[in-house]
Structure 1
C-alpha cells in the first residue's frame, strides 16, 4: 500500500503536549489557561482532520521518530482504523474541554491547573495510541495514558479517591507488564513489532500453544478494555470528577484499551490465525460473558455514575465481539461501535455531571422530578439511552445491527442472541432512570434549573449526533470500509 512521509501525525500528538506546558505557565490566569486548552483542542482536531483526505484516498501517512533497535523504531502511521479513533478522540476533546470549564468552575474545584494539564497529556497519549505504527510506540503512549490519568482519578484527594487511585495503578500498570512481555515475545519470534494488515505472526514457526498463550497475555495487557474479571478498577474510578469519567469512558482510556485489543487481534494475529487457532471463537464467548454479566451488575446500582460504569464494561465488549466474528459486517460493526459508544456514553456522563452540578444528586432514587426542572438535560439522556438500547434511528442501532449480522454471517446465532439479550438488559437499567426523572414527583419545595449553558450545549451536541450519525457521513463509512479491506484476507 502506498505511503507518504509526513510529520502531521507527530504534530497531532505534540500539540497538546505543548498545550500542557502552556497550561502550567498560565495557571494563575484561569481565562487564559482555559483558552489555551480550548485552542489546543481545536488545533488538534484540525490537524487530525487534515489527514482525512489522504487516508480516504487509500494512502498511509508515516513518520519515524527514532530507531531504538534494528527494525524497532518509535514511529507513527495513520491508517483508516487509527483515523477512526483519532477523529473521535480529538473531536470529543473539544466538547469535554468546554464542559469541564463549566463543571470545574461551578463546583469551585481545587487544583484546576493540574486537572487541565493532565487532561492535555492524556489526549496526547490517546493520539499516540491511535497513530502508533508498532507495538513499541503503542506501549509507550499506553503507559503514559495510565500515568497521566492517575492524578485525574485521585483529584478530590479524599481517602476514598486515593484508594481508588491505588487500585487504578495496580490494575493498569500490572497490565502494562503483560503488554510489554507480549511485545518482547513478538519481536523475539518475528523480528518486528510493526502492525501489518494481515497480522505478523502467521508464517512464522511458532507453536500453536505459544500463540494461544501470547494472545492471553496480550488480552491481560488490554485491561483498559475492562474485560471481566479485570474490570473492577473502572467502577472504582467513578470517584473522579464527572468530566474525568467522560474521559475514562468515552474519549481516551477504555477506548484506548479496546482499540489496542482490536489492533492486536487484526494487525498482530490476523484474521486467518485467529480463525485457525480457535482464538476468535473463544474470545467471543469470553466477551459475551462480560456483556451479559456487566449488564446485570448495572441493574443493581443506584448511583448513576456506577450504573453507567457497568454499562461501559458491557458495551466495550460489543466491539471485540464484533471483530471476533471475523466477518465483514462484524468487523465494521465492532469498529463503528468505537465511535458510537463514545458519543452515547459521553452524553450520558455529561448529563450525570449536569444533574450533580444543578442538584447535588448522585443516586437515581433521588432524581424524581429532575426532568421537570432540567428538560434539556434529561431529553439528551433519553436520546443517548435509546442509542445504548439500540433503538433506531440512533447510532447504537446501526453498530448493534452490524455486529448481529456479523454473527449470522459467521453462523454463530448465539452471539446475535447475546446482542438481543443485552439490548433488553440495557432497557431494563436505562428506562427506569428516564421514568424516575420525568414521572416521579420531586421532593416538596424542591426547585432547581439547568446547569450552566457551557455544560448543556456540549451534551446537547453529542445527543443530537447520536441521531444524525445514524445516517453517518460518507467519510465515516469509507474509513470503515478501508479498514475492513485492509484486514480481511
Structure 2
C-alpha cells in the first residue's frame, strides 16, 4: 500500500470510529468492539509507517491549499513518528482499561465518551504528522475541543466548572499567543513548513526578537503546562481516570511537549538557538516549573492531584531540555515523551483501579491497599520507579540523556534540577507504594486474612501491559535511538548526536 494512503488512513481510521461508535451505541459490546478494532487498525497502520521511516522513507500527503504556499499537509519525520507510535499503542491499552473502568463504575454517557476519545486520537495523529504550522495548529485546536466533553463527563457543577477552566485556558493561550507566533513566523520566513535545521535560520531576526517569539510559542502551547499556564491540568482531574490517562499520557500533554520540540528543532533550529541564546530564559522557567510543581505535588493528599502536579513537573523536563538546544538534550527530551507516557499512564491506571475496587482517592487512605490489590500496586511501583529514573526502566534513559546534553552545552544547573527533582519524585511517589505494602489496612482485624479485591480484569490487563512497556522500552533503547537520531542531523556539534547510541550500547552490553 502507498505510504500516502497510509497517512490518510491514520487520520481516517479513528475518524471513522467516531462515526461508527454511535451507530452501535445501543449494544455496548459492539460499540466497544468498534473502538478496539479501530485502535488495532490504527496501530497496524502506524507500525507499517514506522518500518518505512526506519528504512529512510519520509512519506508526505497534501490536501487543500489555504493561502499561497500554506496547505493542509502531512509529512512523517522521526519525532512525529514517535508521538504517533505512542498514541496509537496506548489507545489500544486505554480502550481495554476503559471497558473495565466505565462498566465497573457504572459511568453515564459511555457512548459519547468513546466518540470523543476517537476524535481526540485522530487529532493527536494529525498533530504528529503535521507538515507545517497551519496543519499543526488546526489539529491542536481540534484536540482541545474534542477533549472538553471528556473533562466535563461527570456533568456535575464541579466537572462543568473545571472543564471551563480547561477549555478557556487552552484556547486563550493558543489564540492569543500561539497563533500570533505562527503568523509572525510566516511573515518573517515566508513559509510555514517545518524544515530540517530551522525555518527561521535565514530570517534575519535579532536575538531579542527570537527570544520573544520563542516565549510566545512556549506559553502559547498551553498543553505543555509550563507555569504559569498549567492550571488547566490539575483542574481536569475531575474527569474519569481513562480521560486522565488520555490527558497525561496518550494525547493532550504529549501533544504539547511534542509541539515544543517540533518548534525548537524545525522552526528555530538548534544552531540558531545556541548562537543567540534565545531559548535560555525559557530553560530557566522550565527548570523552576520542574521543582515547584514537584513541591506542590508533595503537599497534595488527593492521589490524582498529586499525579497531576507530577505531570506538570515531568513535562517541563522536556521543555527545559528543548530550550537547552543541545543535540543530546533534544534526544533526551524526545525519549521522555515515550518514557513519561508509559510510566505515568501506569500510575493513573493504578489510581483508577484503586478507585474502582476500593473507592479510595486519598494517599492517606491507602494503608494496606497493596495487600488487597497486589497486582495493581506492583504495577504502580514499576511506574513509580520509572518516573524516578531507575534501571531497568525506560525513565532512566531520558533523564540520563537530558543530563549529558546539559553537561555538553555547559548547562550544569540542569543536572542539579534533575537531581533535586528525582529526590522529590521519591518523596511524593514512594510513600504511596510503601503505605500500600507495609502498613496494615486500617479496618483489618488481627489474625484475619486480608481478602484480595482487584479491579475488573480489563483494568488489570491494561496496567500490566503498561508496566511491562516500562521494562521493554528500556531494553529497546537501540531501536528508539535509530528512530530519533535523525532529529539532530545538521546540528553542531555533530559528534554529540552519536554519543547516546554509544552510551546505550555499552550500558546494555
Band of TM-score, shorter chain: over 0.9
Pairwise CA distance, 1:5: 6.4
Cα displacement string for residues 72-130 of structure 1 (whole angstroms, at most 9, x for unaligned residues): 01000001111011001100000000000000001111100000000000000000000
The match for 1:48 is 46
| 1:471 paired residue number | 475
Q: 1:454 to 1:268 in 2, by over 3 A?
A: same
Structure 2 gaps, min length 5: 445-449, 495-509
Distance in 1 between the 2:167 and 2:5 partners? 32
1:39 match: 37
Cα deviation, 1:292-333, whole Å, max 9, x if unaligned, reads 000000000101000000000000111122223322321111
Q: Which residue of 2 aligns with 1:131?
A: 129
CA distance in 2 between counterparts of 1:394 and 1:5 reads 33
Structure 2 counterpart of 1:251: 250
Asked if 1:460 is matched to 2:464, the reply is yes
Deviation of the 1:487 alpha carbon: 5.6
Structure 1 residue 448: Cα displacement: 5.4
Which residue pairs with 2:372 in the alignment?
373
Alignment-derived partner of residue 22 in structure 1: 20
Shift of 1:53: 2.2
2:279 counterpart SS class: helix
1:215 aligned residue: 214
SS at match of 1:203: coil
Relative to structure 2, which stretch is displaced further, 308-317 or 447-456? 447-456
- Of the three residues 106, 109, 113, the one matched with 2:104 is 106
1:237 matched residue in structure 2: 236
Q: Which position in structure 1 is the counterpart of 2:263?
A: 264
2:486 alignment partner in structure 1: 482
**Stretch of structure 1 that moved more, 329-338 or 208-217:** 208-217
Segment drifting more, 464-473 vs 125-134: 464-473
Give the structure 2 partner of residue 312 of structure 1: 311
| Pairing of 1:97-176 with structure 2 (within 5 A) | 97-176=95-174
Q: Distance in 2 between matches of 1:377 and 1:107?
A: 17
1:190 matched residue in structure 2:
189
Deviation sequence 1:226-248 (CA, Å, 0-9, x none): 10111011001100000000000
How many equivalent pairs are there?
486
Deviation at 1:282, TM superposition (A): 1.7
TM-score, L = length of structure 2: 0.93
Task: Give how far 1:486 is off.
Answer: 6.0
**Aligned position for 2:205:** 206
- Does the C-alpha gap of structure 1 residues 252 and 487 become closer, same or farther in structure 2, counting only changes over 3 Å? farther
Structure 1 residues not aligned, in runs of 5+: none
RMSD: 1.4
Report the CA distance between 1:280 and its aligned residue.
2.6
Query: Counterpart of 1:368 in 2: which secondary structure?
Result: coil
1:447, distance to aligned residue in structure 2 (A): 5.2
CA-to-partner distance for each residue in 1:225-281, whole Å, 9 max, x for gaps?
110111011001100000000000000000001101111111101112212221232
* Post-superposition offset of 1:181: 1.5
Deviations 1:429-470 (A, max 9, x none): 011111111111112258550111110011011111112211
Counterparts of 1:261 and 1:469 in 2: how far apart (Å)?
Answer: 23
